[in-house]
Structure 1
């Protein structure tokens, strides 16, 4: 079900999760991925479950948020966003489109077994990407 692409990404995510967890059991992680990375959510869930076996993140839920790509059509001038990395212009059907963004991969937060998402929680990992991790 999962292919090599998602498996490699899942391994990188696990590495980042383990660094943030500092040995604490992890219940949930949130990953923001650009549409250009072409991550298939079911394949990513499967790959993450496989790579986390026997780790602090075993059984953790991975919340995957796909970040859209901005499309600029060279044929009609339309600018729009799409979750499809291979999108055509929705206005004219043109395939001559420039893309912007949609290529980030960010581990936004983790939630450990001892914590919940409470703003201002002194131990961090509280869902605030700008907060301490």
Structure 2
């Protein structure tokens, strides 16, 4: 299951950007050539993230299409299926470009239950009232 390697890469990127804060959700762009699905990556991520700041977090997956170039007729097209046939001539002699990226688009942190500081004092002025 190659999703575990991808889940480890996502967790590493999430932890670096979270800076010690708990993570609730991550949005990831994955190229179609990676051949992953949201249920499979979430299952792998749940196992990999166990005990980390991202434990219980969900991965929202956005599939980025691959560009198909037909060697028979020259037609180019985009597809979420890297093994698609040419939409113009039905040919199977296809070159592909792109679709192998993995990009952490955003992360959503959990809201803090406690904000440090004195609630009776203006926190905007650390030296006290003027």
- TM-score bin (small chain): 0.7 to 0.9
- Mapped to 2, the partners of 1:85 and 1:99 lie a distance apart of 7
- Mapped to 2, the partners of 1:19 and 1:41 lie a distance apart of 22
Which secondary structure state, in structure 2, belongs to the residue aligned with residue 63 of structure 1? strand
Which secondary structure state, in structure 1, belongs to the residue aligned with residue 77 of structure 2? strand
- Mapped to 2, the partners of 1:41 and 1:30 lie a distance apart of 11
Correspondent of 1:98 among 88, 95, 98: 95
Structure 2: state its 5+ residue gaps: 113-130
Correspondent of 1:18 among 15, 18, 42: 15
Deviation at 1:40, TM superposition (A): 2.7
Task: Confirm or deny: 8 A CA contact 2:4 2:44 kept in the other structure.
Answer: yes
Task: Confirm or deny: 8 A CA contact 2:68 2:82 kept in the other structure.
Answer: no
Correspondent of 2:65 among 56, 63, 68: 68
- Mapped to 2, the partners of 1:90 and 1:42 lie a distance apart of 28
The residue number in structure 2 matching 1:56 is 53
Root-mean-square deviation over aligned CA pairs: 1.3
The residue number in structure 2 matching 1:37 is 34
Show CA shifts across 1:94-129 (max 9, x none). 1111111111111111111138xxxxxxxxxxxxxx
Show CA shifts across 1:13-45 (max 9, x none). 101101111110001101101011111322111
- Mapped to 2, the partners of 1:41 and 1:87 lie a distance apart of 20
The TM-score, its normalising length taken from structure 2, stands at: 0.81
